[in-house]
């Protein structure tokens, strides 16, 4: 008993010690880099290590409180319960505001530490500045934690007998994975941000900076993408209505940094390979992290209405707002003051990869700006005129879809175009057939479907365009060595790119087909009733009572048949979680590569009949498959650098006299 | 520092300031608070029976003639029970209060008024919520202030207590009494 | 400690978003059912935490869905009429598709303006860079042919590459 009472205090103390280490990490290396003091600069690494160790201890202490059912810790009393299964007790640690912030801080310390140990080749002033900037961000979050959102607050001496239970919506595998992945992404962008600020502070922004920054950015972007994909998948099976994206402010808050991150990883490629777009890249890095912070603000301050929002508090909102404004204001001011005004004299032609990547940047920035405007508009209008407006899916979909269509068109062009300049004739030779075949195939597929749909036709066309252009590029690159040996020559970076772009195509197909060819029916079903939906028929076998660890439910049985043969048995449930008295629907889903069968129970009607929702959703899994492909592609690309080091050496040896670094066009 | 840079710095700071102002506004306002769409519009027409007197039809005209409160209430609403005592007090002070019994059962409503006293001048029975929908009601309790011509001048969502009355409603009501 | 800012509304506001709001209305055609679905997905529940009336199980959502169904099937009102009816009573808040009027100019046309501006910037940059690519320093970078030769150089077997 006495040990358990002591553990939260240990956690609290560890948090404060971490703050001290963060302060050291922020101050000494920065001043050291400015003064050229080697000793002070070298304090960055041990300080990052110290911060990480103590935050780890702190996080473990909080987790222990949950596992040990120590309800003297207010946060545990509010979010856990003795009847909660142990794996949900662990994920409940980040189930609400205070604990999730501690996870944020821990993740940030982890990334700082990773940067500290994996950056042997960085010049020490740059590493010092990067760690210092990350230390400053850490200070901000740790102060926020300690001053306004302390997870270790105690409820003494009247310890509650039991906790108020984790929100039933969160009692799910999704909570175990979705937030940690998201935070890895949000926090990871602080590395790109730190590199950008370090470059501005140091006054040196060359291609080397882009090379160091790129793997970190790729990994952060990848994690954020996984987090968003998981969130969408979780909403789909958990919420009972078969949707997977609602353009809710909190969803947008995660999507915007991801979109800017996409522009950033492409811009970094240009800066790395051609020394161009440096200002773009720095600004995008600042923007990506700023959007992460903005997201944190929107979700935790109560400024916007959302089903996802944490319980809010104006004091907390003010703190994050101040932190956000200082970070954005200072970094943008620094950019304006220190960004190089001397542009590189490197040029490029109209038909070049540079042009297309510039288009990529512009379109992604416009899309992000559109989402930002749409998300904030109700607040903007309210504060200026007092009138209340809502901006939802009809707006976002109307503007998002054509912009992404334009982007996909540019994608197909971009993968084929060469750096610097491409001859028009060659381009027509390469892409002319692609254009024709794409048009033909997409028309064919659309006409073969039961009903003609214009949107489906367009997306088919764009998807084939990207796919075939990518294949065309692969064929072109392997034509000298023969196809199979050529394949082995391709770098991981190249495969990563192909995988990422394939992910875009897969996701787009999933979105358009599940949006337009879904079959849905809401109806009353008696026991034994059968309904036909497309090629499938569903038979309702009634619902019976069932008891879970911390809930009671009515568990229904619905059999799905195709051509008279039973292919799945689904068990949709209507649950009531005992502690919070919260009703919940668990959909019965038969997942499939080409379609999902989705069943949900509504209200019980007379004589054992139920209101039932039946859906056949073609290719809906492709949405998340595409998301995963994009993220894995980025990870693959990040895993490439060592090869480059060797190649650089080989190139230097082979081409004496060429001083400038040249990059292989792979 | 060149002029262009100086201008850019000013723009950045102006943007930051603008966002700050908007956010602080947002922090102190409940984004879910919905003002009435019927402000300064006439109270909707209706023709529904009085509570407990099915033969007696009440219409909009019964609400005219003097500034008054219109309270949407129901027996299934615990907050309505909380605010009821205050309405008794207001009625005793001479404030006319019309009631709309929203999506409720007649006998339960009548028993409630018997138990807790009846501050209402009259009560309209709205079992299907059709009058409520025309008023833009989305839950109980909601209280409107109308003027002598039946134009809606104010709406409050939530329980009316002393603070709410004194700070928000009394000024409107008393303002309507003057001319 | 958990301060939740809520108006003191008492209806069954514990409308867990996870409750599937399933009605059992009968439609004559699939097109009608699709139209109904689209309508209720575009209308916002006036008191929920950002949900449309299709997904929310709050009593007001139920009422609004019923009313929408009635207006659609009995009174044969058009989509616009149905939305206008509800906006009259609940305000513009209840539409997820914001109206296009002078209040929402920036909202609806802003992104297009931004795109146009971006396109303009693109043209300026590309024209400028094109001039640079024929300028004196262009020799320092590789031309298309040299690039090709470099590719072949680098496509040699990877025996010496680090694994």
Which of B12, B22, B34 lies nearest to residue A332, judging by beta carbons? B12
B49 and B117 housed in the same domain? yes
Cβ-based neighbours of A118, under 8 Å, separated by 6 or more: none
Confidence label for A172 from pLDDT (cuts 50, 70 and 90) = confident
Q: How far apart are CA A258 and CA A247, in angstroms?
A: 14
Helices first, then strands: H and E counts in chain B: 6, 7
Phi, psi of A614 (to 5 degrees): -120, 135
Going B50 to B56 to B58 to B61, the CA torsion angle's sign is: negative
Phi, psi of B123 (to 5 degrees): -125, 125
pLDDT at A273: 87
Angle subtended at Cα C127 by Cα C122 and Cα C128, rounded to the nearest 5 degrees: 100
User: Which bin fits A240, alpha (ψ -120 to 50), beta or left (φ > 0)?
Assistant: left
B71 and B98 housed in the same domain? yes
The domain that holds B116 is classified in CATH as 3.40.30.10
User: Which bin fits A36, alpha (ψ -120 to 50), beta or left (φ > 0)?
Assistant: left
Structure-token pair, residue A158: 């009247």
Do C61 and C49 meet the contact criterion of CB atoms below 8 Å apart?
Answer: no
pLDDT, tens digit (0-9, with 9 covering 90-100), for B28-79: 887 777 888 999 999 999 999 999 888 999 999 999 999 999 999 999 999 9
Report CB contact under 8 Å: C18, A169: yes
**What integer is the mean pLDDT of B98-122?**
93
Q: What percent of chain A has pLDDT over 70?
A: 95
pLDDT at A360: 95
User: How many other CB atoms sit within 10 Å of the CB of residue A533?
Assistant: 16
Structure-token pair, residue C75: 């009174």
**C11 near B CB under 8 A:** yes
Q: Which residues 79-108 in chain C show a CB within 8 A of chain A?
A: 91-98, 103-104, 106-108
Distance (Å) of CA C12 to CA A459, B78, C16, C48: 43, 11, 10, 11
Q: How far apart are CA A239 and CA A243, in angstroms?
A: 8
B66 and B144 housed in the same domain? yes
Q: How far apart are CA C61 and CA C63, in angstroms?
A: 5
CB-count burial class (<10 Å; 0-12, 13-18, 19+) for A510? buried
- Dihedral (Cα; A55, A57, A60, A65), 10-degree rounding: -110
B133 and B153 housed in the same domain? yes
The continuous run of DSSP H or E covering B113 comes out as helix B106-116
pLDDT at C136: 52
- Dihedral (Cα; A303, A309, A312, A317), 10-degree rounding: -50
Residues on chain A touching B26 (C-beta within 8 angstroms): 301, 303-304, 379, 382-383
B12 and B99 housed in the same domain? no
Q: Is the pLDDT of residue A659 over 50?
A: no
Instruction: Please give, rounded to a whole number of angstroms, the shortest distance from the CA of C87 to a CA of chain B.
Output: 8
Cβ-based neighbours of B5, under 8 Å, separated by 6 or more: A336, A337
Structure-token pair, residue A142: 């740790």
Q: What percent of chain C has pLDDT over 90?
A: 47
Paired strand residues for A565: A562
Residues on chain B touching C67 (C-beta within 8 angstroms): 133
Instruction: Please give, rounded to a whole number of angstroms, the shortest distance from the CA of B59 to a CA of chain A.
Output: 31
Instruction: Please give, rounded to a whole number of angstroms, the shortest distance from the CA of C131 to a CA of chain A.
Output: 7
List chains touching A (3+ CB pairs under 8 A).
Answer: B, C
Which among A239, A241, A68 has a CA at the least distance from the CA of A168? A239
pLDDT, tens digit (0-9, with 9 covering 90-100), for A371-391: 999 999 999 999 999 889 999
Which of A301, A376, A382 lies nearest to residue B27, judging by beta carbons? A301
User: How many other CB atoms sit within 10 Å of the CB of residue A488?
Assistant: 11
**What integer is the mean pLDDT of B8-37?**
87
Going A306 to A310 to A314 to A320, the CA torsion angle's sign is: negative
Distance (Å) of CA A41 to CA A31, A121, A211: 8, 15, 22
**What integer is the mean pLDDT of A182-193?**
96
pLDDT at C157: 52
Going A256 to A259 to A262 to A266, the CA torsion angle's sign is: negative
Which among A143, A134, A100 has a CA at the least distance from the CA of A114? A134
Structure-token pair, residue A122: 């960085």
B84 and B104 housed in the same domain? yes
B82 and B165 housed in the same domain? yes
B77 and B140 housed in the same domain? yes
pLDDT at B1: 59
B101 and B128 housed in the same domain? yes
Do B60 and B44 meet the contact criterion of CB atoms below 8 Å apart?
Answer: yes
Which residue, chain included where needed, has tokens 């990773």? A114
pLDDT, tens digit (0-9, with 9 covering 90-100), for A613-639: 999 999 999 999 999 999 999 999 998
Sheet holding A588-590, edge to edge: A519-525, A610-618, A595-604, A588-590
- Helix, strand, or coil here: C18? coil
pLDDT, tens digit (0-9, with 9 covering 90-100), for A66-89: 999 999 999 999 999 998 899 999
Q: How, if at all, do strands B97-102 and B122-126 pair?
A: parallel
Which among C156, C147, C141 has a CA at the least distance from the CA of A650? C156
pLDDT, tens digit (0-9, with 9 covering 90-100), for B117-173: 999 999 999 999 999 999 999 988 999 999 999 999 999 999 999 999 999 999 999
Q: How far apart are CA A295 and CA A193, in angstroms?
A: 16
**C12 near A CB under 8 A:** no
Confidence label for A579 from pLDDT (cuts 50, 70 and 90) = confident
**C62 near B CB under 8 A:** no
User: Which bin fits A41, alpha (ψ -120 to 50), beta or left (φ > 0)?
Assistant: alpha
What ipTM did this prediction achieve? 0.90
Name the domain count of chain B. 2
User: How many other CB atoms sit within 10 Å of the CB of residue A222?
Assistant: 28
Cβ-based neighbours of A635, under 8 Å, separated by 6 or more: A218, A219, A222, A496
In DSSP notation, A165-191 reads ---GGG-SHHHHHHHHHHHHHHHHHHH
Q: How far apart are CA A161 and CA A618, in angstroms?
A: 49
Q: What percent of chain A has pLDDT over 90?
A: 69
**A323 near B CB under 8 A:** no
Q: When comparing pLDDT for C159 and B147, which is higher?
A: B147
Confidence label for A479 from pLDDT (cuts 50, 70 and 90) = confident
Report CB contact under 8 Å: A305, B32: yes
Instruction: Please give, rounded to a whole number of angstroms, the shortest distance from the CA of A48 to a CA of chain B.
Output: 31
pLDDT at A1: 56
The continuous run of DSSP H or E covering B92 comes out as helix B78-92
Q: Chains B and C: how many Cβ contacts under 8 Å?
A: 64
* Average pLDDT score over chain A: 90
pLDDT, tens digit (0-9, with 9 covering 90-100), for C135-147: 554 445 555 666 6
Q: How far apart are CA C98 and CA C95, in angstroms?
A: 6
* Average pLDDT score over chain C: 78
Which of B77, B133, B158 lies nearest to residue C7, judging by beta carbons? B158
Listed in order, strand segments (DSSP E) in A446-550 are 519-525, 530-533, 536-547
Report CB contact under 8 Å: B9, A302: no
Which residue, chain included where needed, has tokens 């997409």? A442
pLDDT, tens digit (0-9, with 9 covering 90-100), for C49-101: 889 999 888 889 999 999 999 999 999 999 999 999 999 999 999 999 999 99
pLDDT, tens digit (0-9, with 9 covering 90-100), for A213-238: 999 999 999 999 999 999 999 999 88
Q: Is the pLDDT of residue A324 over 90?
A: yes
**What integer is the mean pLDDT of A556-565?**
92
pLDDT at A561: 94
Helices (H), A386-423: 393-416
Q: Chains A and B: how many Cβ contacts under 8 Å?
A: 62
Which domain range does residue B52 map to?
A: 34-177
Going A569 to A570 to A574 to A578, the CA torsion angle's sign is: positive
Q: When comparing pLDDT for A39 and C16, which is higher?
A: A39
User: How many other CB atoms sit within 10 Å of the CB of residue A665?
Assistant: 16
Which among C84, C48, C43, C36 has a CA at the least distance from the CA of C64? C43
**What integer is the mean pLDDT of C38-52?**
91
Orientation of helix C30-42 relative to helix C79-90, angle to 10° = 30
Which of A307, A317, A363 is the mutation pick for testing C, counting most C CBs within 10 A? A307
B49 and B125 housed in the same domain? yes
Q: What percent of chain C has pLDDT over 70?
A: 70
pLDDT at A651: 63
Angle subtended at Cα A87 by Cα A83 and Cα A89, rounded to the nearest 5 degrees: 55
Residues on chain A touching C121 (C-beta within 8 angstroms): 362
Cβ-based neighbours of A436, under 8 Å, separated by 6 or more: none
CB-count burial class (<10 Å; 0-12, 13-18, 19+) for A372? middle
Do A317 and A305 meet the contact criterion of CB atoms below 8 Å apart?
Answer: no
**What integer is the mean pLDDT of A512-534?**
91
Confidence label for C6 from pLDDT (cuts 50, 70 and 90) = very low
Q: Tell me, what DSSP letter sits at residue B67?
A: -
Q: Is the pLDDT of residue C13 over 70?
A: no
Confidence label for C8 from pLDDT (cuts 50, 70 and 90) = very low
Report CB contact under 8 Å: B139, C63: no
Q: How far apart are CA B150 and CA B37, in angstroms?
A: 15
Which residue, chain included where needed, has tokens 């920035």? A365
Instruction: Please give, rounded to a whole number of angstroms, the shortest distance from the CA of A305 to a CA of chain B.
Output: 6
B24 and B54 housed in the same domain? no
Distance (Å) of CA C59 to CA B139, C39, C91: 8, 18, 19
pLDDT at B153: 94
Cβ-based neighbours of A474, under 8 Å, separated by 6 or more: A487, A490, A498
Listed in order, strand segments (DSSP E) in A472-572 are 519-525, 530-533, 536-547, 551-562, 565-570
pLDDT at A643: 42
Structure-token pair, residue A266: 């492409």
Q: How far apart are CA A274 and CA A206, in angstroms?
A: 10
pLDDT, tens digit (0-9, with 9 covering 90-100), for A143-165: 999 999 999 999 888 888 898 88
Which among B127, B134, B83 has a CA at the least distance from the CA of B105? B127
Going A185 to A190 to A195 to A196, the CA torsion angle's sign is: positive
B129 and B161 housed in the same domain? yes
Q: Is the pLDDT of residue A662 over 60?
A: no
Report CB contact under 8 Å: C98, A390: yes
Q: How far apart are CA B173 and CA B148, in angstroms?
A: 11
Residues on chain A touching B20 (C-beta within 8 angstroms): 321, 325
Which among A260, A175, A188, A174 has a CA at the least distance from the CA of A223? A188
- Helix, strand, or coil here: A592? coil
Q: Is the pLDDT of residue A658 over 70?
A: no
């Amino acid at each position: 008993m006495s040990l358990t009472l002591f553990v939260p205090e240990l956690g609290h103390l560890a948090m404060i010690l971490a703050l001290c280490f963060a302060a050291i990490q922020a101050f000494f290396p920065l001043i050291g880099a400015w003064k050229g003091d080697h000793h002070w600069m070298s304090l960055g690494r041990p300080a990052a290590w110290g911060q990480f160790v103590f935050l780890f201890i702190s996080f473990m202490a909080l987790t222990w409180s949950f596992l040990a059912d120590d309800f003297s810790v207010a946060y545990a009393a509010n979010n856990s319960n003795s009847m909660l299964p142990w794996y949900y007790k662990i994920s409940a640690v980040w189930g609400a505001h205070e604990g999730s912030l501690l996870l944020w801080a821990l993740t940030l310390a982890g990334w700082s530490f990773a940067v500290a140990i994996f950056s042997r080749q960085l010049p020490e002033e740059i590493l010092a500045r990067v760690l210092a900037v990350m230390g400053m961000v850490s200070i901000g979050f740790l102060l926020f934690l300690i001053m306004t959102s302390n997870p270790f607050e105690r409820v003494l001496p009247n310890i509650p007998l039991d906790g108020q239970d984790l929100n039933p919506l969160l009692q799910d595998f999704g909570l175990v994975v979705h937030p940690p992945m998201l935070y890895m992404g949000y926090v990871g962008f602080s590395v790109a941000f730190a590199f950008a600020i370090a470059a501005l502070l140091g006054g040196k922004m060359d291609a080397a900076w882009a090379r160091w920054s790129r793997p970190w950015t790729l990994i952060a972007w990848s994690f954020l993408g996984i987090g968003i994909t998981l969130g969408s998948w979780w909403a789909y099976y958990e919420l009972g209505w078969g949707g997977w994206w609602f353009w809710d402010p909190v969803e947008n808050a995660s999507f915007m940094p991801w979109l800017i991150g996409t522009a950033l990883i492409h811009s970094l490629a240009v800066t790395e390979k051609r020394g161009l777009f440096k200002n773009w890249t720095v600004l995008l890095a600042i923007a990506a992290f700023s959007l992460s912070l903005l997201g944190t603000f929107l979700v935790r301050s109560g400024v916007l209405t959302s089903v996802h929002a944490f319980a809010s508090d104006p004091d907390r909102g003010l703190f994050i707002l101040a932190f956000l404004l200082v970070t954005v204001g200072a970094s943008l001011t620094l950019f304006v003051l220190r960004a190089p005004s001397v542009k590189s004299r490197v040029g490029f032609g109209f038909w070049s990869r540079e042009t297309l990547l510039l288009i990529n940047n512009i379109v992604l920035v416009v899309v992000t700006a559109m989402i930002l405007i749409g998300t904030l508009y109700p607040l903007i209008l309210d504060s200026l005129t007092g009138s209340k407006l809502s901006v939802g899916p009809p707006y976002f979909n109307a503007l998002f879809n054509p912009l992404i269509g334009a982007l996909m068109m540019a994608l197909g062009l971009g993968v084929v175009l060469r750096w610097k300049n491409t001859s028009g004739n060659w381009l027509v030779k390469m892409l002319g057939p692609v254009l024709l075949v794409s048009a033909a195939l997409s028309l064919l597929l659309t006409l073969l479907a039961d009903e003609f749909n214009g949107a489906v036709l367009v997306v088919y066309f764009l998807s084939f365009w990207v796919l075939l252009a990518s294949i065309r590029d692969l064929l072109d690159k392997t034509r000298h060595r023969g196809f199979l040996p050529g394949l082995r020559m391709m770098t991981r970076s190249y495969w990563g790119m192909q995988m990422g772009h394939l992910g875009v195509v897969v996701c787009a197909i999933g979105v358009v087909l599940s949006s337009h060819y879904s079959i849905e029916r809401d109806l009353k079903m008696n026991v034994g009733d059968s309904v036909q939906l497309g090629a499938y028929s569903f038979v309702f076998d009634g619902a019976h009572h069932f008891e879970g660890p911390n809930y009671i439910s009515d568990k229904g049985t619905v059999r799905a048949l195709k051509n008279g043969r039973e292919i799945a048995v689904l068990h949709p449930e209507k649950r009531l979680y005992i502690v919070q008295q919260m009703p919940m629907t668990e959909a019965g889903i038969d997942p499939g590569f080409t379609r999902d069968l989705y069943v949900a129970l509504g209200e019980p009607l007379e004589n054992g009949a139920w209101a039932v929702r039946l859906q056949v959703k073609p290719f809906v899994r492709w949405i998340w498959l595409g998301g995963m492909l994009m993220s894995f592609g980025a990870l693959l690309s990040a895993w490439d650098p060592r090869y480059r080091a060797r190649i650089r050496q080989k190139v230097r040896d082979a081409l004496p006299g060429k001083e400038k670094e040249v990059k292989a066009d792979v | 520092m060149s002029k262009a840079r100086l201008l850019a710095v000013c723009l950045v700071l102006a943007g930051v300031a603008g966002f700050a102002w908007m956010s602080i506004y947002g922090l102190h306002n409940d984004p879910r608070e919905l003002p009435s769409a019927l402000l300064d519009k006439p109270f909707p027409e209706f023709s529904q029976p009085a509570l407990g007197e099915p033969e007696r039809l009440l219409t909009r005209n019964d609400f005219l003639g003097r500034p008054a409160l219109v309270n949407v209430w129901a027996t299934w609403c615990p907050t309505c029970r909380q605010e009821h005592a205050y309405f008794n007090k207001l009625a005793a002070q001479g404030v006319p209060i019309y009631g709309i019994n929203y999506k409720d059962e007649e006998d339960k409503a009548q028993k409630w008024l018997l138990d807790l006293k009846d501050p209402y001048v009259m009560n309209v029975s709205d079992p299907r919520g059709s009058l409520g929908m025309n008023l833009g009601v989305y839950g109980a309790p909601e209280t409107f202030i109308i003027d002598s011509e039946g134009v809606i001048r104010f709406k409050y969502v939530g329980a009316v207590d002393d603070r709410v009355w004194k700070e928000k409603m009394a000024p409107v009501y008393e303002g309507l009494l003057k001319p | 400690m958990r301060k939740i800012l809520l108006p003191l509304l008492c209806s069954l506001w514990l409308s867990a978003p996870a409750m599937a709001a399933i009605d059992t209305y009968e439609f004559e055609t699939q097109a009608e059912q699709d139209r109904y679905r689209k309508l209720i997905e575009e209308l916002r529940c006036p008191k929920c935490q950002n949900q449309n009336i299709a997904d929310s199980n709050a009593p007001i959502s139920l009422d609004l869905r019923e009313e929408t169904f009635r207006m659609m099937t009995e009174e044969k009102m058009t989509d616009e009429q149905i939305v206008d009816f509800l906006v009259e009573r609940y305000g513009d808040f209840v539409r997820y598709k914001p109206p296009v009027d002078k209040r929402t100019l920036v909202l609806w046309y802003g992104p297009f303006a931004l795109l146009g501006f971006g396109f303009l910037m693109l043209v300026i940059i590309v024209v400028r860079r094109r001039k640079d690519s024929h300028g004196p320093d262009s020799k320092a970078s590789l031309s298309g042919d040299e690039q090709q030769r470099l590719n072949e150089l680098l496509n040699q077997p990877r025996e010496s590459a680090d694994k």
